[in-house]
Amino acid sequence: MVEINKTINESKYFNNLSMEEKTPILKLNLRGKVNNKDFTNNVGKILGLILPVEVGSILLKEYLSIITTGPNEWIIISNNKENNDYELENILFEAISKNNLGAVTNITDQFTIFSLVGSNALQVLSKSSPFNFDKLPNNFSAQTLLNNIDITIVKKDKENIDLLVRRSFSNHLWSWLNDSARFL
Amino acid sequence: MSNTFRLTSGGEINRAERISFKFNGKNLFGYKGDTLASALLANGIHLVGRSFKYHRPRGFLGSGSEEPNAIVQLHKDKAKTEPNIRATQIEIFEGLEAKSQNCWPSVNFDISEINNFLSPILPAGFYYKTFMWPAKFWKKYEYFIRKSAGLGFAPTKRDPDLYEHQYYHCEVLVIGSGPAGLTAAMIAAQSGKKVLLVDEKPEHGGSLVGSNDQVTRIDNKTPKEWIQNTYLELLKNKNIKILNRTSVAAYHNYNYLIMMQNLTDHLNENDKKNKIRQRLWKVRAEKVILATGSIERTMVFDCNDRPGIMLSSAVRKYLNHYGVKCGNNVIIFSNNDDAYETALSLHDKGVKIKAIIDIRKESNGELVKNCVDLGIKIMWKHTIVKAEGHKRINEVVIMKLSSDNNSVVGDKIKISCDLLCVSGGYTPAVHLFTQSGGKLAFDEKKFYFYPEKTSLDQISIGSCSGIFNLKKIIQNTYIKVNTFLKTNIKDKTIVSDYKSGGFDNIWLLPSNKISGKTKSFIDFQNDSTANDIKLALREGFKSIEHVKRYTTTGMATDQGKIANMHALGIISDITKTKMGELGTTTFRPPFTPLTFGALVGRNVKEFFDVTRETPMHIWHKNNGAKFEDVGQWKRAWYYPINNESMYNAVQRESKAARENAGILDASTLGKIDIQGSDASEFLNRVYTNAWSKLGISKCRYGLMLNEDGMVYDDGVTTRLGENHYIMTTTTGGAATVMSKLEDYLQTEWPELKVFLTSVTDHFATVSVCGPHSKKILEKVVKNINFADQEFPHMSFKEGIIDNIKCRVMRISFTGELSYEINIQANYGKAVWEKCMKAGKEFNITPYGTEAMHLLRAEKGFVIVGQETDGTVTPGDLQMDWIINKKKYDFIGKRSLYRSDTMKEGRKQMVGLLTENPNEVLEEGAQIVAEIKKNPPMEMLGHVTSSYFSPNLKKSIALAVIKNGKNLKGKKLYIPMKKKVIEVIVSDTIFLDKEGSRLNG
C-alpha cells in the first residue's frame, strides 16, 4: 500500500487554542452555472440538497459540507473520515462533467485543512489577516490572506475554525501559526 | 546624587519600589512610575542634551510626546541601543542606561558648541549657499556634512526583540483618554458598541493627570478619583478594549489607523524576556472620536531655550503626578490663566514663586485672584526680553510692554531664578485630524487652528476641537458623541471648575535689542529661530511649506507639535496675512516615531517571505539537497555527495540522467484542469498552435503569448477526455496564467462553456528519465503497457499504484526517454521512494533544477524567463513552427503581424560554441561582432544559458543575438574583463537533433 503522507503530523496546544491538521478527506471542486437548471437539478439530486448560491455560505450535511467559493464554484468536502470513498466523484463526474453541464475536479490534496479550536482561534488569525471576523456569521466562509497566503476560513462558530490552505503553503503557515500562537 | 528635588510625599509614583538607572554614566535612582525625565529632574538634572545645529545646552521643555529637547540614546548594547528617545516618554526600569546625544566629549563640555559662536555665519539655509564652490571641494564638504548630520547612533547588530502585528476592527475608536475621551468611551460603551480606547501614556486622564486637586472637582471627586472611577466603570463593559502606552502613528482614509503599543519597554530586563516588545495595531474603525487634547505653547523671546525653561503644564505634572519640583526659585511667564494653576500648585508644595510675569493688562480669573490673595507678585503687561544662564537659567530680564505690545519700554528688571515656567496658551492637537484629510479653520480671536471639515465618519471633542474649559468639554462631549453615535446617554456630570480670564497673544515678543542680536527659538529640535523665519521671508519664501523646508521648522519628529504655530504667527505678522489664509504645513505620519521592528513585526527570518514546499521536500532535505528559490517554491537545486561542489554534482547528475536514469521532482509546475464543451476552442485561443485535432490521451506542447505577441508561458497540455484537458504551466507563471485565463473567460469569452480548476497542489509530479526509465516505470506502475507502440512519446495513460490512481505522461524536457507520474500529493513522497527503490538496480540518480537546465539546454529547449524577457516572439525563438497561421485568432496573434515584430534583424535565439571547448561562458555576457580597443562596441545580444555539457564534453550556450537566424557559422566575440572569448554561432539543438533518444 502506498503510504499516505500528511503535511503536519502534530497537534499543538496554546493559551485557549488547540491546532491540528484534519485527516485528508475527499474534496471536490464543482463548477457550473446556477442559472443552468440541468446543472443544479443534477447536483441537487445526487447530493440530496439544494446548492447554496450566496458566496461564502456553507451547507452542512451529515455526510458532506459544501462551501460556496464563487458565483459558479463550490468545494464539496466529505465528512466521512473513515471511508474516504471516491464514488461520489465518479457519480458527479459522469453526471456533470461528461454531460458538459459543469466541471467536477478532485482537489482532495490541493488543500490542507487546519482545525483551530478555542477562544483564541480568531485572535491568532487577526495577527495577520485584515479580515473583519465580527462580520463573518457562523457557518460561513471567507477567502482572505493570512501571512500573505491565500486561505479560506470556515467559521463554524467563533471558537471552531477550519482553515483551508494550499498544500504547498501548509508547512509555512503551520510554522507561522505556531509562532504567533505562542504570544497569545 | 539623591532625589533632592523629590517632594517628601505626593505623586503617583510607588515610593516603595526604588529603581536604579544610569544617565551619562552616573548611577541614579528613581521610583516605579517615574519617567526618565521625572527621575532626572528629581535628581536635579536639567541639562540633558545639546541642540542639533548650534550645540546649545538643552533641558526639558515638556512632559510628553511634544518634548523637543530631551531626546536621548538608550541602552549600551550594540543590538538594543536606540537613538532619539524622548526622556519624557521612557518609564524607568532597573538597569536602564541612557546618555545625552549630539555632544562630545560630554554634555557638560561639548566642543561643537563652537557652532553657537559661529551662528551669525550659519543662518537658515547656509548649507545651500556655502558649499557651492569650488565644485571639486564637494567631496570634502560632503564628508563633514554627513559626519555632522543625524542625531544619535543606530544599532549595529541585529535587533533581538520581538514585534508583532495585530489587525482590529471596532465600531467606535476613541483616541485619547483625557476627560473628553473617557466620557466619549463611556457613552459608546454604554450604547453596546464595540469600542477601542487608546492613549499614548501609561496612565489615563490626559490633561487631568497632574492637575491641582484644589482647583478642579468632577462629581465631587478629585480628578484622580474621577479618572480611576471612570476607568473601572469602563472595564465593566465587555465590549470595550482599552490600550495604554499606545500611540496612533497614522490616520489614513476610510478610518484606517496605525498604532504602536509599547508592551515591555517599561519592564525590567528579566521580565521582558520572550515577550513581544511592541505591537503594531492596524485598526479599521466604523467611527473615530478624536480626543487628542492640546499642546501648550512656549513663548518666543531671546534665549528661550535655556535649560530650566519649561512649559507650565509640564512643571505642574512633574510636581503633582511625579512628586518632583523642577526648581526652588520659580518665575512664571504667561499670557493666560492656566499658568496660575501651576503657581498655586507650586505654592501649595512650598516652592517659592518669585514672580508671575503676564503680558496681559489684567485678568479677572479666579485662579489669578487666588494668587493675588496668596501674595504672589504679578507683573502685568510685562515681558521677558532675555533669559540668562548657560547650562541652566539663573536670571530673567524683564521689561514693560508698550501699550500696543510692539515694543518694550522702561527699565530692565532682573530677577534671579532657577526655573521659568512658560505658558503661551494651547494649540489643539489636530495632527491626526489633518492626516485623515480633514480641513482646518483658524480662529482669529483665539489664535488656533481647529478641525472644520472632514469626509470621514469622525468627530473631534475636547481641547483638540478648541474647547479648553473642563465643564464645557464634558457638556460638549455628551452633545457631540450622542449625536455622532445616535445615542441618548444623559449627562449627569457635575464639574466644579474655575472661571477663567482672557488670553492675549504675541507670537514674537518684543525685545530691547535689534532682532539680529537675539536668539529666539521657534523650533528647539531643529534650532530654528525667529530670525531664520525672517530671513526666509526676505529671501522670497512666502509659502509656509517653503519656509518650513528652508528653515527646517516643524520637521523631523516634532511635526508641528511645538514649532509651527509661532512660525506661522511670525510670517502672518510680517506679511500682514491672516493666519487662516496662510494655512498649516502638512502634519505627516507618524505622529510619534515608530520603530522599524514594529513596522516589520514577525516578518523576519523564516517569516520574511512565504515558502512553498513540494510533497517530496522532506526527502530532498533528508538526502542533502541544496535548494533554490523558484518563485516562492523551494526546489531541489542539486544533491551534493561527500562535499561535492555544485559543478561536480550537476555534471554527475546530468551524466547519470543520460546514461542510466534520473529522477526529478516536477511538482511545482502549474496544473490547470480544463473542462467544458468548448475546452478545445479555448485552447485554440490561448495557445499559438491548433488543439482541436489532438487525440484523447495525447499530449502537446503549447506556447502562450501576451497580447503584445511576446512569449508569456509554455507547457504541455494533455487531452484526458473529449472535453477534458490538463494544462501545465511554468512554475513561476502558474498563478498569473490561471488568473489571466479566468479573466479571459469571464470578460472576453463569456460565451465559451469552459471551467478551470487549479490542481497544482493536488498532484505530486515525479519525472523519471533516461534509458532505463521505462524499466523503472514498469516496476512501479504495473497496470500500464509501456511498449513504445502502446505508449508512444507525447501520450498519456491512467495507472494505478497500489490501488491509488495516477496519471502517467510520456513527455520529456530533457530530450531523454521520460515519464511523469502525477499522483495525489499525499502519496507523492511514497511514490518517489518507490521509484528510487525500483531504480536502484539502474543507478537511478536524483537530479535538481540545475541539471534539468543543463539537460534541456543540450536539447535546445527554451525556458520562459531565461531565454525570454518579455520582448521575445516565437519567431525570435526560431519556433515559427508552433504558430498556426490558419487559426482565426489566438492571444497575441495580431501583434505578431506588426511591422516591428516582423522586421528582419530582431534578436533571435541561437546556439553558441566556444572556440575553446572547455571555456564556459558567463550567462548575461554581451556579444559583439568586432572587438574595439575601447568601448563603446555595438552589442548584438547576450548569453541566456551556458553550461559545460558532460555528455557532449564541451561548452554549450544559448543566446539571443540580432539577426541570429542568419549568422549561423559566424565567429563572434565576447569581451570579458580580462579576455575576449571567441564563439561560433550554431544550431540551438546540440544533442540528438533527430529525437531518437526521447522516442526510445
Site from B762, B763, B782 to mutate, A interface, most A CB atoms within 10 angstroms: B762
Q: Which of B570, B449, B482 is nearest to B521 (CA)?
A: B570
Q: State whether A51 and A16 are in the same domain.
A: no
Residues of chain A neighbouring B761 (CB-CB closer than 8 A): 109-111, 166-168
pLDDT of B318 strictly over 90: yes
Residue A2 lies in a domain: no
Tell me if B676 and A109 make a contact (CB, 8 A cut-off): no
Domain with A74, as residue range(s), is: 27-106
Q: Taking CB atoms and an 8 Å limit, are A168 and B760 in contact across chains?
A: yes
A95 vs B: CB within 8 A: no
Per-residue pLDDT tens over the stretch B595-637: 999 999 999 999 999 999 999 999 999 999 999 999 999 999 9
Residue of A nearest to B617 (CA): A168
B272–A contact, CB cutoff 8 A: no
Side-chain-side CA neighbours of B182 within 13 Å: the count stands at: 27
Nearest to A109 among B194, B825, B831 (CB): B825
B852: left (phi over 0), alpha (psi -120 to 50) or beta: alpha
Are residues A138 and A100 part of one domain? no
What pLDDT is stored for residue B556 in this prediction? 78
A85 and A145 assigned to the same domain: no
State the pLDDT at residue B419: 97
CATH number of B518-577: 1.10.10
* Whole-number Å distance between alpha carbons of B466 and A46: 68
- Residue B144 has a pLDDT of 83
Residues near B861 by Cβ (< 8 Å), separated by ≥ 6? B813, B815
Among the partner-chain residues A2, A129, A171, the one whose CB lies closest to the CB of B830 is: A2
Strands B724-729 and B795-801: unpaired
**The domain boundary residue, chosen from A88, A106, A124:** A106
Return the CATH architecture of domain B670-759. Answer: 2-Layer Sandwich (3.30)
| Domain-wise residue ranges, chain B | 14-121, 162-294+428-496, 298-424, 518-577, 670-759, 901-986
Q: Which of B282, B611, B801 faces A130 most closely, judged by CB atoms?
A: B282
Please tell me which residue of chain A has the smallest CA distance to B634. Answer: A168
Residues 33-62 in A contacting B (C-alpha not used; CB under 8 Å): none
Q: Are residues A31 and A50 in the same domain?
A: yes
Q: Would the pLDDT of B498 be above 90?
A: no
Distance CA B631, CA B609 (A): 11
Q: What percent of chain B has pLDDT over 70?
A: 100
- Across the A:B interface, residue pairs with CB atoms under 8 Å apart total 136
Q: Is B471 exposed, middle or buried (0-12, 13-18, 19+ CB in 10 A)?
A: middle
Query: pLDDT at residue B50 above 90?
Result: yes
The verdict on A38 and A96 lying in the same domain is: yes
pLDDT tens digits along A73-112: 999 998 876 655 578 899 999 999 999 999 999 999 999 9
Q: Is A134 on the interface with B (CB under 8 A)?
A: yes
If asked whether residues A31 and A102 sit together in one domain, one would say yes
CA distances from B886 to B194, B683, B902, B903 (A): 64, 15, 17, 21
Average pLDDT rounded to a whole number, residues B580-586: 81
Average pLDDT, whole number, for chain B? 94
Q: Does A174 touch chain B (CB under 8 A)?
A: no
- Residue A163 falls within a domain, yes or no? yes
Question: Inter-chain contact B829–A107, Cβ cutoff 8 Å?
Answer: no
Q: What is the pLDDT of residue B872?
A: 96
Residue B1000 confidence (pLDDT) above 70 = no
Taking the Cβ of residue A87 and every Cβ of chain B, the question of whether any pair is shorter than 8 Å is answered with: no
Model pLDDT, residue A81: 67
**Mean pLDDT across B553-570:** 85
Alpha-carbon gap, residue B822 to B845, rounded angstroms: 19
Same domain assignment for residues A146 and A99: no
Q: Which CATH architecture has domain B901-986?
A: Beta Barrel (2.40)
Does B610 sit within 8 Å of A2, measured CB to CB?
no
Q: Which residues are within 8 A (CB) of A179 and not within 5 positions of it... i.e. 6 or more apart?
A: B602, B607
- Domain B162-294+428-496 carries which CATH code? 3.50.50.60
Residues of chain A in contact with residue B167, where contact means CB-CB under 8 angstroms, are 126-131
Would you call A22 exposed, middle or buried from its count of C-beta atoms within 10 A (0-12, 13-18, 19+)? Answer: middle
Second-level CATH architecture of B298-424 = 3-Layer(bba) Sandwich (3.50)
- Window B:957-996, CB contacts with A under 8 Å: none
Measured between alpha carbons, how far is B305 from A172 in angstroms, rounded to an integer? 55
Kindly state the percentage of chain B with pLDDT values over 90.
84
Q: Judge contact between B449 and B442, C-beta under 8 A.
A: yes
- Whether A108 and B804 lie within 8 Å, measured CB to CB: no
List, as ranges, residues 620-679 from B with C-beta within 8 Å of A: 633, 668, 673, 675-677
pLDDT band at B507; cut points 50, 70, 90: very high
With CB atoms and an 8 Å threshold, state whether A167 touches B633: no
On whether residue A6 sits in a domain, the answer given is no
Between CA B503 and CA B489 the distance in angstroms is: 34
A-facing residues of B in 824-863 (CB < 8 A) are 824-831, 834
**Are both B162-294+428-496 and B298-424 of the same fold?**
yes
Is residue B544 very low, low, confident or very high in pLDDT (cuts 50, 70, 90)? confident
**pLDDT, greater one: B959 or B582:** B959
The answer to whether A183 contacts chain B (CB < 8 Å) is yes
Give the three-state DSSP class for B529.
strand
Our CA-based measurement puts residue B370 at a distance from the nearest CA of chain A, in whole angstroms, of 53
Give B94's contacts (C-beta < 8 A, 6+ positions apart): B19, B20, B21, B268, B269
Query: Cβ neighbours of residue B489 under 8 Å, at least 6 residues apart?
Result: B186, B187, B190, B191, B478, B481, B482
| Confidence at B686, pLDDT banded by 50, 70, 90 | very high
Interface of B with A in 360-389 (CB under 8 A): none
Q: Is A23 on the interface with B (CB under 8 A)?
A: no
ipTM: 0.96
B808-853 pLDDT, tens digit per residue, is 999 999 999 999 999 999 999 999 999 999 999 999 999 999 999 9
Instruction: Find the closest chain B residue to A179 by CA distance.
Output: B602
Question: What is the per-residue pLDDT for A7?
Answer: 83
Q: How far is A182 from chain B (nearest CA, A)?
A: 10
**What distance in Å separates the CA atoms of residue B482 and residue B473, rounded to the nearest whole number?**
14
A183–B162: do the CB atoms touch at under 8 Å? yes
In chain B, what residues touch A4 (CB-CB under 8 Å)? 826-827, 830
Q: Poorest-confidence range of A84-88, B498-502, B512-516, B939-943?
A: A84-88
Over residues B208-217, mean pLDDT: 87
Q: Are A91 and A146 in a shared domain?
A: no
A33 and A94 part of one domain: yes
Is residue B759 less than 8 Å (CB to CB) from chain A? yes
With 0-12 / 13-18 / 19 or more C-beta atoms within 10 angstroms meaning exposed / middle / buried, residue B413 is: middle
Determine the residue type at B614: T
pLDDT, residue B132, reads: 80
Domain presence at residue A57: yes
Beta-strand relationship, B309-311 and B419-423: parallel
* Residue of chain B nearest A24, judged by CA positions: B826
User: What residues of chain A lie within 8 A of the CB of B753, using their CB?
Assistant: 100
Rg of the Cα atoms in chain A: 17
Instruction: Report the chain A residue with the minimal C-alpha distance to residue B668.
Output: A168
Cell of B44: 536635579
Dihedral of CA B828/B834/B840/B843: which sign?
A: negative
CA dist., res. A113 & res. A133, Å (int): 19
**Chain A closest CA to B722's CA: distance in Å?**
9
Length of chain B: 1000
Q: Apex CA B95: angle with CA B91 and CA B98, to 5°?
A: 65
List the CATH number of the domain containing A150.
Answer: 3.30.1360.120
Total count of domains within chain A: 2
Interchain CB contact of A94 with B (< 8 Å): no
- Strands (DSSP E) contained in B502-562 are 521-523, 528-529
- Count of Cβ atoms closer than 10 Å to residue B727 Cβ: 26
Cα–Cα dist B485/B487, whole Å: 5
**CATH placement of domain B14-121:** 3.10.20.440
Residue A134, domain member (yes or no): yes
| Distance linking the first and last C-alpha atoms of chain A | 42
pTM to 2 decimal places: 0.91
- Closest alpha carbon to B821 in B785, B870, B769, B748: B769
For residue B824, give the nearest of A98, A109, A179 by CB distance: A109
Q: B747-771: per-residue pLDDT in tens?
A: 999 999 999 999 999 999 999 999 9
Lowest mean pLDDT among B79-88, B339-348, B544-553: B544-553
pLDDT for the residue numbered B1: 52
Contact A2 B827 (CB under 8 A): yes
Whether A3 maps to a domain, the answer reads no
How far apart CA B995 and CA B145 sit, in angstroms, is 68
Residue B676: phi and psi, rounded to 5, are: 135, 155
When pLDDT is averaged across residues B259-265 and rounded to a whole number, the result is 96
Q: Where does a domain end: A50, A74, A106? A: A106
Q: What is the pLDDT of residues B135-176, one digit of tens each?
A: 888 888 888 888 877 888 999 999 999 999 999 999 999 999
Asked whether residue A15 falls in the same domain as residue A71, the answer is no
Question: To the nearest whole angstrom, how far is the Cα of A8 from the nearest Cα of chain B?
Answer: 11
| Rounded Cα gap, residues B368 and B357, in angstroms | 12
B832: nearest CA partner in chain A: A2
Report if residue A4 sits inside a domain: no
**Does the beta carbon of B724 lie under 8 angstroms from any beta carbon of chain A?**
yes
pLDDT, position B592: 87
Q: Is B532 exposed, middle or buried (0-12, 13-18, 19+ CB in 10 A)?
A: buried
Q: Check: CB of residue B787 under 8 Å from CB of residue B761.
A: no
Predicted local distance difference test score (pLDDT) of residue B425 = 94
End position of a domain, from candidates A106, A127, A157: A106
> What mean pLDDT is predicted for residues B324-348?
95
- Determine the residue among B634, B757, B760, B831 to mutate to test chain A binding: the one whose Cβ has the most chain A Cβ atoms within 10 Å: B757
Q: Find, in chain B, the residue whose alpha carbon is nearest to that of A75.
A: B757
Question: Which pLDDT belongs to residue A61?
Answer: 87
- The domain that contains A50 carries what CATH number? 3.30.70.1520
Mean pLDDT, range B188-202, rounded to an integer: 96
CA nearest A127 in B: which residue? B166
pLDDT digits (tens, 9 = 90+) for B270-307: 999 999 999 999 999 999 999 999 999 999 999 999 99
- pLDDT the model gives residue B28: 96
- Which residues of chain A have a CB within 8 Å of the CB of B613? 168, 171-172
Interface of A with B in 144-173 (CB under 8 A): 147-149, 166-169, 171-172
Is pLDDT at B459 greater than 80 in this prediction? yes
Closest Cβ opposite residue B757 in set A29, A130, A135 = A29
Q: Which of B858, B325, B290, B196 is nearest to B587 (CA)?
A: B290
| Lowest mean per-residue pLDDT among B529-543, B871-885, B975-989 | B529-543
Report CB contact under 8 Å: A109, B602: no
What is the chain B residue with the closest CA to A132?
B169
